[in-house]
Chain A
């Protein structure tokens, strides 16, 4: 095994993602090659440090108050009912079938049209987000953003925080276009 080959397998080796025979090959290379062994130990040390990153513990009072806050906010807000034909199962993480892709594209198109219509009322507030380097489209957070913005039980500050969500259009794995919807939402309140 060359050093180049060994180094290309180091991460998978550390994660235990290699087949047994490949793992054994890396093993024996590390035994005879000081340079690769050095790299291996550095990678291992980084992993160790990452696994042991400390965290700020806000304390039991915080946990209790936050739980109460969440429950208070949710008790006051009923589940949002969506027309079945517009419903996109949020648990569904599989690749889009053609039919589902087409359906969700149609839904997206509808949202896009509404966004344009709403946007035309406040054109200056629309932000074209170019910071989305996400090559895959998440399950739409469209309703996350839209649904929460109209909740009168929220303070203005909360609403603006809620409206920070990014709106991504399109079917999973199909379209990569996205627009930021936050300012648009806060402005239409």
Chain B
């Protein structure tokens, strides 16, 4: 389907199942990546992806402005991820063994181009950064993931959270300052 997202959204809102399938196809990896980086395990990320699409499908008649589809989709996924994350933080951490599986590689997302050798070389520091991220409050963690890992702009994140851009900026700065403090000398080359 060579249609633009707004065209697809319009068709989807009109009840076109094929258009919906195409939207699922276009956004599923992006949502999975976001949810995975917030929740750090496949099962929860899978749940977020499925739930997000099911929810937007059910509320499609409310999508009056097709240009906000992506924002709304990301908002549902982010809120749901934060909700699961808070549950995760409240219970004993469940160890995720996915990173020892052969499937632990870069997703085919054009933005990310780390070579495998780089990835292994820095694996230890990567894990430390991950643990540091996990120690942040859910909202700060999600903001850092959205901006610094997933590459969303501050303006987009402000729309996703429905908050002022200045709040996104300060959340982000606080999160990074905490990460740097936790990682201290480990970031010096």
Residues of A participating in the B interface, judged by any CB pair closer than 8 Å: 11-12, 15, 17, 38, 41-43, 45-47, 49-59, 62-63, 66-67, 69-71, 73-75, 77, 79-82, 87-93, 131, 133-139, 141, 143-144, 147-148, 161-162, 164-166, 172-173
Cα distance A66–B52 in the bound complex, in angstroms? 12
9 closest Cβ pairs, A-B complex:
A91-B68, A50-B148, A74-B57, A52-B114, A42-B187, A136-B163, A56-B98, A91-B65, A90-B62
Cα distance A46–B99 in the bound complex, in angstroms? 21
Question: What would be 23 A-B contacts, judged by CB atoms less than 8 Å apart?
Answer: A38-B188, A49-B126, A51-B148, A54-B106, A54-B119, A56-B99, A58-B32, A58-B42, A71-B20, A74-B17, A74-B57, A75-B17, A77-B54, A77-B57, A88-B62, A93-B159, A131-B90, A138-B162, A148-B55, A161-B47, A164-B83, A166-B79, A166-B83
Query: Does the CB pair B149–A51 fall under 8 Å?
Result: yes
Residues of B participating in the A interface, judged by any CB pair closer than 8 Å: 15, 17, 20-21, 24-25, 28-29, 32-33, 36-37, 42, 46-47, 49-51, 53-55, 57-65, 67-69, 71-72, 75-76, 79-80, 83-84, 86-87, 90, 98-99, 101, 103-108, 112, 114, 118-119, 122, 125-126, 129-130, 137-139, 144, 148-149, 151, 154, 159, 161-163, 167, 169, 172-173, 176, 179-180, 183, 187-189
* Chain B interface SS verdict (over half): helix
Query: Does the CB pair A138–B161 fall under 8 Å?
Result: yes
Query: Does the CB pair B54–A70 fall under 8 Å?
Result: yes
Asked if A11 meets B28 with Cβ closer than 8 Å, knowing A51-B149, A58-B42, A67-B21, the reply is no
Chain A residues, CB < 8 A from B101: 56
Chain B residues, CB < 8 A from A80: 58-59, 61
Chain A residues, CB < 8 A from B58: 74, 77, 79-80, 147-148
Asked if A11 meets B129 with Cβ closer than 8 Å, knowing A70-B54, A136-B162, the reply is no
Query: Does the CB pair B76–A144 fall under 8 Å?
Result: yes
Cα distance A25–B171 in the bound complex, in angstroms? 25
Query: Does the CB pair A66–B28 fall under 8 Å?
Result: yes
Query: Does the CB pair B180–A67 fall under 8 Å?
Result: no
Cα distance A139–B125 in the bound complex, in angstroms? 37
Closest to A53 in B: B149
Query: Does the CB pair A56–B42 fall under 8 Å?
Result: yes
Closest to A144 in B: B55
Cα distance A69–B129 in the bound complex, in angstroms? 34
Query: Does the CB pair A139–B114 fall under 8 Å?
Result: no
Q: How far apart are B169's CB and chain A's nearest CB, in angstroms?
A: 8
Asked if A173 meets B162 with Cβ closer than 8 Å, knowing A46-B176, A80-B59, A164-B87, the reply is yes
Query: Does the CB pair A70–B24 fall under 8 Å?
Result: yes
